[in-house]
Amino acid sequence: MSQENVELARALLNAFAELDEGLVGPERIEEFMAQDVITTFSGFGFLDEQTLRGWEFLEFRAAWMEPYDDFMYEPKEILDAGANRVVVTLHQRGKPHGSDSWVEMDYGIVYVVEEGLIRRAEFYATPEQALEAAGPSE
């Protein structure tokens, strides 16, 4: 099942990229992520107390990207973390409105897969925090 979970995470990231390009609507995400998904944040300061439920994450995501004229992110690694967990490490960069400078960061996500869908997305401020949170792979 682990390789299937890795492929599910990869497919979700691809669906988000298609959504960003306007190629698909948000319903495409439902193929990979449960409608009642829980999203949490750790190590981001002001975000740490937030828990998003369901599609609140799509609204949050749109607001996160809004301040940028140019925004991109790419997965660096998608790792089987054992059991029902997948760790994704990403690099994102954006050019804020009216700026010539880029803002960049690396972060990690632990996806929890149940019944063939991502049911939980735990965002960590660094890839190392995500790897540590996922624990040793089986």
pLDDT band at 136 (very low <50, low <70, confident <90, very high): low
The rounded distance, in Å, linking the Cα atoms of 79 and 89 is: 9
Residue given tokens 């954006």 in the structure block: 94
- Contact partners, residue 14, CB within 8 Å, separation at least 6: none
- Residue 28 and residue 19 in contact, taking contact as beta carbons nearer than 8 Å: yes
45, 40, 67, 91 alpha-carbon torsion, rounded to 10°? 90
- Residue 87 and residue 108 in contact, taking contact as beta carbons nearer than 8 Å: yes
List the alpha helices (DSSP H) in the chain.
2-20, 56-65, 127-134
**Of 102, 101, 122, nearest in space to 111 by CA:** 122
pLDDT band at 2 (very low <50, low <70, confident <90, very high): confident
pTM, rounded to two decimals = 0.91
Delimit the domains of the chain by residue range: 2-131
- Residue 87 and residue 102 in contact, taking contact as beta carbons nearer than 8 Å: no
Q: Quick one: average pLDDT of 46-53?
A: 83
Q: What are the tens digits of pLDDT across the range 65-112?
A: 899 999 999 999 999 998 899 999 999 999 999 999 999 999 999 999
CATH topology of domain 2-131: Nuclear Transport Factor 2; Chain: A, (3.10.450)
Residue 64 identity: W
- Contact partners, residue 24, CB within 8 Å, separation at least 6: 15, 18
